Structure 1
Amino acid sequence: MKLETFEFKNPDDNQRLDKEIFLYKKIYTRAQIQKWIKSGQVLVNGTRVTKTGFKLKLDDQIQVTPTKAPPLKAFAQNLSLEVIYEDQDVLVVNKPQGMVVHPSAGHPDQTLVNAILYHTQLDSQDEVRPGIVHRIDKDTSGLLMVAKTDLAQESLSQQLKNKTNLRRYVAIVHAPFSEQEGTIDAPIGRDPQNRKQQAVLAGGKSAITHFRVLENFADYALIECQLETGRTHQIRVHLQYIGHPVAGDPLYGPRQTLKGSGQFLHAQQLGFYHPRTGKWLEFEVEPPKIFQEQLRNLQLVQD
């Protein structure tokens, strides 16, 4: 373990200990830093401090002994999994809202991949994202295709690259539309002002989203989106960019919004050519209960 020492020289006295360490070493998350403090890995002026909100004084000496997190590796967990289709090569699942697709530093387990590994065998050397060829956000629900074999991994990945598959979403968004359909062609990259978010940037990667209005309401709209590319948070960023952020979106939407468990965005339709037979397969699942309830409420008010 490496011992790091630095002085607190922030002109604003009374700074929180966890925040100051975060500002000094932004490569660590606030959650990780708080764990170190609580476990006694941080000293202030030679004294162990275990309160994350401990208030610092000017010129305080802080010593941090960070621990290296063990390498991520997905393992089987007996979690609920809704299988829509399965054969020897591919698996199609309906991911629930609130579940992360694969393990990461902030979500080492309880992910969709953990559930898949318990359900079936995957021929993959990837220890973190076995079988995963595309992802949807934690609080986005809906269809996901998973490669069970190397043949499927190569084929499905190539179809995504060639844009020959189908990924169609439905979303409840803020503000009714004046047009019935359109295409958002705007490059996306990491937001320089907030690393947790993406943004439309001149130097970003090409991103194209097609949309069609299904129903307009007084303050909202139900739309259908089809992805041509697959950038992180693409639909959410693009819809915010044109003034129609997804309802319930905690990152890109307004606070005054529909009550739910995250953004009202659902991957409803998925289509691809079977890796072995070449047959076109297409699947559709209805949005989760909370989505349907809020949609009915909007329709009732409209009537």
Structure 2
Amino acid sequence: MTSLFKLIVQERDPKKLGPFLLKNGFSHQALNNAKHHHGMILVNHKRRYTSFNLRAGDEVIFISGEEKKNDFFKPSNNPVSIVLENKNYLVVNKPAGVLSIPSRYEDDDAVVNRLLGYFAQKGQKNLKPHVITRLDRDTSGLVLVGKNAISHARFSKIGKEKFVKKYHAIVHGNFAPNELTGLIDQPIGKKGSGVKRAVVADGKDAQTAYRVLDQVTGASLVELRLLTGRTHQIRVHMAYLGHPLYGDPLYGIQDGFSRQALNCFYLNFPDPFSQQKCKTIELNDPKDMQELWQKLINKEF
């Protein structure tokens, strides 16, 4: 399925069509697909080459070519919770226990697989999901997914710092009155040869902002915002503070909760298809985390 994108040339934009499209998030591969795989590029409704000289006010219409089918991605008929959908992208509420993208060993029921099944049910088998903001398997919450390679490329042109992701976590222990808000600025790197990470002197820069929302005896409900995107960042930083997440024995203890108590409840991002207007989406935490917190309040867990 091809997609149509319309842009207006501004005075400050590049003078030639090719650089203009690259600046606006269209990759070299997308330009090649438009040229050779049933797409086209129009300027003021006339077909043009990428060497064409533009003027301010010109209308550029980009009609994408068809993406190659990836046989590795298999459709799944398991349900997918769509929070927001338009012709360019979707936001999905991912449940815990589901991968964002298929892995070499589990290739049949990630968010990508479920979206392929969803597209097929709608008769849109040629759409190809591209995950833009992924979550770990056992983290629930909001995931932004492009519907095609061009959507993914245009989002990729936006600086990562402009994507605001906020999480709720339920952690062990209580915070002191002077520690109810803070910024954890500690580098994170690999620990050993496995998947485990740790705060290490030669790790990559990592910053997590947090504020405590509520506390009960032995447990705290915390809101966190990632300022960088390191592997297991929230889990590592909370453990570093002495407050590992419930359900996270890799960085804490076996406590009986079935998965790490972490949910991405808030997502804000610029929309490259609407003059950079921002979208904001916010959801309640899933049932398992709400029930865990209620049990902790009632001292039943």
Q: Calculate the TM-score normalised by the size of structure 1.
A: 0.69
Residue aligning to 1:300:
298
1:154-193 pair list within 5 angstroms: 154-159=153-158, 161-178=159-176, 179-192=179-192
1:95-106 pair list within 5 angstroms: 95-106=94-105
1:190-269 pair list within 5 angstroms: 190-192=190-192, 194-255=193-254, 257=255, 259-269=256-266
Task: Report the AA paired with residue 296 of structure 2.
Answer: L
Secondary structure class of the residue paired with 1:171: strand
Residue aligning to 2:281:
283
Q: Is the 8 A contact 1:268 1:284 kept in 2?
A: yes
Q: Is the 8 A contact 2:134 2:144 kept in 1?
A: no
- Cα distance, 1:275 vs. partner? 1.8
Counting aligned pairs with the same residue, the percent is: 39
Task: Report the AA paired with residue 281 of structure 1.
Answer: K
Tell me which stretches of 4 or more aligned residues in structure 1 moved more than 4 Å: 121-124
Q: Is the 8 A contact 1:250 1:262 kept in 2?
A: no
Secondary structure class of the residue paired with 2:182: strand
Mapped partners of 2:194, 2:144: distance in 1 = 28
Q: Calculate the TM-score normalised by the size of structure 2.
A: 0.70
Mapped partners of 1:187, 1:195: distance in 2 = 18
Q: Is the 8 A contact 1:151 1:275 kept in 2?
A: no
Task: Report the AA paired with residue 263 of structure 2.
Answer: H
Mapped partners of 1:105, 1:79: distance in 2 = 20
1:31-42 pair list within 5 angstroms: none
1:87-126 pair list within 5 angstroms: 87-120=86-119
Structure 2 gap ranges (5+): 1-69
Mapped partners of 1:72, 1:228: distance in 2 = 35
Q: Is the 8 A contact 1:103 1:113 kept in 2?
A: yes
Secondary structure class of the residue paired with 1:145: strand
Residue aligning to 1:148:
147
Q: Is the 8 A contact 1:143 1:270 kept in 2?
A: yes
- Cα distance, 1:123 vs. partner? 5.6
Give the count of matched residue pairs: 223
Task: Report the AA paired with residue 106 of structure 2.
Answer: H
- Cα distance, 1:288 vs. partner? 1.5
Deviation by residue 1:194-214 (Cα, 9 ceiling, x = unmatched): 512111122221111100000
Structure 1 gap ranges (5+): 1-70, 125-129
- Summarize the Cα distance change of 1:188–1:85 in structure 2 as closer, same or farther, 3 Å threshold: same
RMSD: 2.0
Q: Is the 8 A contact 1:81 1:116 kept in 2?
A: yes
- Cα distance, 1:300 vs. partner? 3.0
- Cα distance, 1:232 vs. partner? 1.0
Mapped partners of 1:154, 1:209: distance in 2 = 26
Mapped partners of 2:150, 2:104: distance in 1 = 29
